[in-house]
Chains A and B, each alone.
Chain A
């Protein structure tokens, strides 16, 4: 067993347990289904990660999902912190950067992009 063999073993094994253990303080779920992609979710994702990197944040976890049930408002994402969930829609890369720099870094929601829950829209 070489150290590189161990690292490969770890890479294979980590997917099995990555779901458990401590969650990061912030969790952002980005809708990346076909309608999201067509509406520009990829560029929003790019801007999001770039801003996380720029702000040197270690406490944010990002996950992709097929759909958040808000197809009319794509690109859409959800910000989870403690027991609060905020939905953002009709996003631009600029909006994504503000979500990180204002909502995550300063606790100020970016009101003009906040949208209600899917249930509330019905």
Chain B
């Protein structure tokens, strides 16, 4: 998982599996303040405190290691964030949704590159076409915004995001920056 964008994809997939209808990704790169912030909010079925603890401590407790090592994504990201002088926090309400916040030093040597965010959003919104995937990426005053719901509306009824026309439309909407 050597890209932040891959972590975003992983967290997005968790959201889809939790039955989310909306996934909102916000990434803020503040070079001046030397801070990278990532936030993913979803309206899926959420987790209770024990589930949150379990997900974050996937490889630090014996119990977790005895289980199959799946869904290590969040534990890995937390490890990476902490190594880069930051951290990760999960806020979740069962039945309402989950918010994952990760932050770290922007200039840290060990900080993974942002990576290909466009491909992450492409994979997420095409793989789960009924989910609204939104993303706002801020860097040094410029903002990139993507909303799969807008692409769907522009396509009109009867045209699926997965159709050739839909794929082209998503690509166009993403291609404007990344």
B127 CB to nearest A CB, Å: 4
Closest to A61 in B: B162
Most chain B beta-carbon neighbours within 10 Å: one of A10, A53, A66: A53
B130 A15 Cβ-Cβ under 8 A: yes
Interface residues of B (CB under 8 A from A): 1, 6, 9-10, 13, 16-17, 21, 70-73, 76, 116, 119-120, 122-123, 126-128, 130-132, 149, 152-153, 157, 162-164, 167-168, 171
**Of A28-36, A78-86, A103-111, A114-122, which binds chain B?**
A28-36
Give chain A's interface secondary structure class: helix
B164 A57 Cβ-Cβ under 8 A: yes
Interchain CB contact (< 8 A) of A32 among B116, B123, B163: B123
By a CB distance below 8 angstroms, the chain A residues around B9 are 32, 37, 42
Considering the chains assembled together, what is the distance between the CA atoms of A40 and B132 in angstroms?
Answer: 24
Considering the chains assembled together, what is the distance between the CA atoms of A18 and B162 in angstroms?
Answer: 13
Considering the chains assembled together, what is the distance between the CA atoms of A62 and B9 in angstroms?
Answer: 17
A14 B130 Cβ-Cβ under 8 A: yes
Closest to A15 in B: B130
Most chain A beta-carbon neighbours within 10 Å: one of B126, B127, B130, B171: B127
A7 B1 Cβ-Cβ under 8 A: no
Closest to B21 in A: A15
B167 A52 Cβ-Cβ under 8 A: yes
B127 A63 Cβ-Cβ under 8 A: yes
Considering the chains assembled together, what is the distance between the CA atoms of A45 and B167 in angstroms?
Answer: 12
